[in-house]
A and B are shown apart, each in its own frame.
Chain A
Amino acid sequence: MHEHRAYNFKNMHFVGEEGQLIPLLQQAQAEDGYLRRERLQEIHQVSGIPLAHIYGVATFYAQFRLKPVGKYLLRVCHGTACHVSGAVELSQAVEKHLGIPNGETTPDRMFSIETVSCLGCCSLAPVLMINNATFGNLSPSAAVKVVKKYQKGERS
């Protein structure tokens, strides 16, 4: 079972600072991979910010997730340069290969797919990011090959 560790947000330097909420949420997500309900309540208790306001902010920004993601997060860039260089086909190929649509996670919790607006590597379009590694100049089949490498690494 996943144990819920009690983080002491009071010790975080940004509690009580101006504009503390977003850094607190970012910290919580960095710890857990997503925003757990318990964590939001904890932030409410230490900061005194109304829970409704916290939820409002958490759902406004694209960075925050209320659902867990897979071990590997695939971010397919859909910026302008990537779009005109075949990002749609790239997305389709990856989604087909993993058998999940955009925004979902594989049942084994290994892979999640997300589309992002722009990763700022436009001259390498189309671009795919897996966790913090960036891959550029990908054809749909080359993208699938990259994903397969990760799958193989998991099995061995």
Chain B
Amino acid sequence: MTRVTVGYSTCGIAAGAEETYKALEARLATLAEPAELLRTGCVGMCYQEPLVEIGTDDGVRYLYGHVSPDKVARLVDEHVTGKTPVADWLVWTSSGQGTDAAYLARQHRIVLRNCGNIDPEAIDEYIATGGYQALRKVLDAKDPEAVINLVVDSGLRGRGGAGFLTGMKWRFTRMAPGAEKFIICNADEGDPGAFMDRSVLESDPHAVLEGMIIAGFAIGADHGYIYVRAEYPKAIERLTIAIGQAAERGFLGDRILGSPHSFHVKLKEGAGAFVCGEETALMMSIEGKRGMPRVRPPFPATKGLWEKPTSINNVETFANVPWIVLNGAKAFNTLGTANSKGTKVFAMAGKVRHGGLVEVPMGITIREIVYGICGGIRDDRQFKAVQMGGPSGGCIPAELQDTVIDYESINKTGAIMGSGGLVVMDDTTCMVDVARFFLEFTQRESCGKCTFCRIGTKRMLEVLTRITEGEGRDGDIELLEELAARTKNSSLCGLGQTAPNPVLTTLKYFRSEYEAHITNRKCPAHNCQKLLTYTITDDCSGCMLCLKACPAGAITGERKKRHVIDQSKCTVCGECYKVCNLGAIAKD
């Protein structure tokens, strides 16, 4: 039977997947030969949403991009009924055709293995792809130590950012004294620019659950928590369904699949605090307190949730586990570099042509991801930098685009691997403004416990704000460096320790941009509004649009004659630039 699927996760729905689904439903209902219509998760080609995949009897899968409801009739008539694919709209086929075949061809999908292929709300679809076999395998073997050894051997490191060896974390938690232990899945994906965890939870929630249950067995924990951001309603909805289904089939609950091992999972919704992505703050939040980090040691492995040994792992980490159990440590650790094994999922966003999720083996270069997979920079502009690791990370300049992606190489640049958000910037992005943006974020999200994180970030933000507003002073750069060093050294948790990274990396690679702002009162990227000067060029036709739009009355001129801006009256609001149809307003 023909199988038609619609990518139905948050980004797809925002792009109009619901209307497309309804149109497909109506059209397919008119056919004599019934076709199966399903909602799947996200295949990762966010830039092509809404996505529709058609699989016919020939065994090939055809993926169509930008399928708006008006395209549905032709698609169904030609491909489903007529058995002829609509070549114009094809973006990918499983036989290697399509305009964007390169996007998927160069990826290596372990974590995203089922994303976009199965209906995340149907447990049978997951089971049909080999789901829960890994769990059966470890339960049948009855050897928790062996599971830990396997994960250690695989070289899997925590995908939440810090990159600690997952198997070691499990071993410490297993060895810690105490009868009651906990597993926590950290799904509080707070880094702006990162959305891979949301996508995995929405597209393949059972893979994460299975990873957690295996971890519970390995550690000797009967209870697990999933802490999800409240901003991810779709992920919460699908996880709730998945937990119910898994319990119904006996994968969760008392005496799983007849074994002596029990495991229960509870979902906890976050309440909008970035700092709760930090493990000790996250545990405070589960306990119903203000999410403020505490000193480590003791580490959660010995004293975690309610003072009991706890292992906290990230969504992506758990999603790797069933695959490793089924395919072996060697299949995983032959991928990647000496110290970073396996694959990593990156969320590509910003000025890149093809934004979305990509999963690549560790050791690939930034250039290969940006140009090879994602099609380069939008509008063919100049590639300036990538921001990696969110507010804790840094900006890596285009000159270093041949840096290979593994934990150590990225750390050397001053950025961090982080959760895997990769925001691409072009020549219109001002690096001082980017640093200011992140400081605004960390300053707002600081829990206030440590003085330098609370006040140091605020002072740095003030300095950066005045630089972008043309009020920068001599010595501001040195002041930023001093504050950055102190904030780094005297904060308890990762938030404060890494908050200065965006400032330090932009200072390291784009110092001249700071100097241009301070000394010349100019923004080289033409981004900082207050540092711009607007002038009218010879292209002006004298249409009077800008004259009428100017709220300061700074523009004078007659119809069909070139207008002039009185710089003494101009408030640099940019209204004239926005309204001009001829591009006759220049900004410098």
Chain A residues engaging chain B, CB cutoff 8 angstroms? 18-23, 25-26, 49, 56-57, 60-64, 78-85, 116-125, 127, 132, 134-136
Set B15, B268, B421: member contacting A80, Cβ < 8 A: B421
**B231 CB-CB contact with A under 8 Å:** yes
Known A-B contacts A80-B193, A80-B349, A136-B15; A119 and B290 likewise in contact (beta carbons under 8 Å): no
* Chain A residues positioned under 8 Å from B355 (CB to CB): 81, 122-123
**A79 & B285 in contact (Cβ 8 Å cutoff):** no
**A127 & B273 in contact (Cβ 8 Å cutoff):** no
**A121 & B390 in contact (Cβ 8 Å cutoff):** no
**A132 & B274 in contact (Cβ 8 Å cutoff):** no
CA distance A9 to B349 in the complex (A): 43
Q: A19, A26, A61 — which one has the most chain B CB atoms within 10 A of its CB?
A: A19
**A118 & B193 in contact (Cβ 8 Å cutoff):** yes
**B11 CB-CB contact with A under 8 Å:** yes
**B306 CB-CB contact with A under 8 Å:** yes
Chain B residues engaging chain A, CB cutoff 8 angstroms? 10-11, 13-15, 46-47, 49, 189-195, 198, 230-233, 268-274, 285-291, 306, 347-351, 355-356, 387, 390, 421, 423, 425, 429, 434, 437-438, 441, 445, 447
**A123 & B437 in contact (Cβ 8 Å cutoff):** no
* Chain A residues positioned under 8 Å from B429 (CB to CB): 84
**B47 & A123 in contact (Cβ 8 Å cutoff):** yes
Set B13, B192, B198, B447: member contacting A79, Cβ < 8 A: B192
Other A-B contacts than A21-B289, A22-B269, A134-B14, 10 sampled, CB-CB below 8 A, are A22-B271, A49-B288, A60-B447, A61-B273, A80-B350, A118-B192, A122-B349, A122-B350, A123-B47, A136-B14
* Chain B residues positioned under 8 Å from A26 (CB to CB): 230, 269, 271
**A132 & B273 in contact (Cβ 8 Å cutoff):** no
- Can you spell out 25 A-B residue pairs with CB atoms less than 8 angstroms apart? A20-B288, A22-B268, A26-B230, A26-B271, A57-B288, A57-B289, A57-B290, A60-B291, A61-B273, A62-B271, A62-B273, A63-B270, A80-B349, A80-B421, A80-B423, A81-B355, A83-B434, A85-B351, A118-B231, A120-B10, A120-B194, A123-B348, A124-B11, A125-B350, A136-B11
Known A-B contacts A61-B272, A81-B349, A84-B425; A124 and B46 likewise in contact (beta carbons under 8 Å): yes
**A120 & B195 in contact (Cβ 8 Å cutoff):** yes
**B387 & A80 in contact (Cβ 8 Å cutoff):** yes
* Chain A residues positioned under 8 Å from B423 (CB to CB): 80-81, 84, 122
CA distance A45 to B351 in the complex (A): 52
* Chain B residues positioned under 8 Å from A118 (CB to CB): 190-195, 231
* Chain A residues positioned under 8 Å from B438 (CB to CB): 80
Residue in B closest to A82 when the chains form the complex, CB atoms: B192
CA distance A18 to B269 in the complex (A): 14
Q: What is the distance, in angstroms, from B277's C-beta to the closest C-beta of chain A?
A: 11
**A123 & B288 in contact (Cβ 8 Å cutoff):** no
* Chain B residues positioned under 8 Å from A116 (CB to CB): 231
CA distance A83 to B391 in the complex (A): 13
**A80 & B10 in contact (Cβ 8 Å cutoff):** no
Set A64, A122, A123, A125: member contacting B271, Cβ < 8 A: A64
* Chain B residues positioned under 8 Å from A122 (CB to CB): 192-195, 347, 349-350, 355, 421, 423
CA distance A152 to B183 in the complex (A): 50
Set A120, A124, A125: member contacting B231, Cβ < 8 A: A120
Q: What is the distance, in angstroms, from A124's C-beta to the closest C-beta of chain B?
A: 6
Set A20, A22, A78, A123: member contacting B11, Cβ < 8 A: A123
CA distance A23 to B230 in the complex (A): 11
Set A20, A124, A132, A136: member contacting B233, Cβ < 8 A: A132
**A63 & B13 in contact (Cβ 8 Å cutoff):** no
* Chain A residues positioned under 8 Å from B47 (CB to CB): 123
**B230 & A117 in contact (Cβ 8 Å cutoff):** no
**A19 & B437 in contact (Cβ 8 Å cutoff):** no
Q: What is the distance, in angstroms, from A8's C-beta to the closest C-beta of chain B?
A: 20
CA distance A124 to B66 in the complex (A): 13
* Chain B residues positioned under 8 Å from A25 (CB to CB): 271
Known A-B contacts A62-B271, A118-B190, A122-B423; A18 and B231 likewise in contact (beta carbons under 8 Å): no
CA distance A81 to B387 in the complex (A): 10
Instruction: Name the 3 nearest CB pairs between A and B, nearest first.
Output: A79-B192, A123-B355, A122-B349
CA distance A57 to B467 in the complex (A): 36
**B350 & A18 in contact (Cβ 8 Å cutoff):** no
CA distance A124 to B190 in the complex (A): 17
* Chain B residues positioned under 8 Å from A20 (CB to CB): 288
CA distance A102 to B190 in the complex (A): 21
Set A19, A120, A132: member contacting B288, Cβ < 8 A: A19
Set B191, B193, B288: member contacting A21, Cβ < 8 A: B288
**A18 & B288 in contact (Cβ 8 Å cutoff):** yes
* Chain A residues positioned under 8 Å from B274 (CB to CB): 117
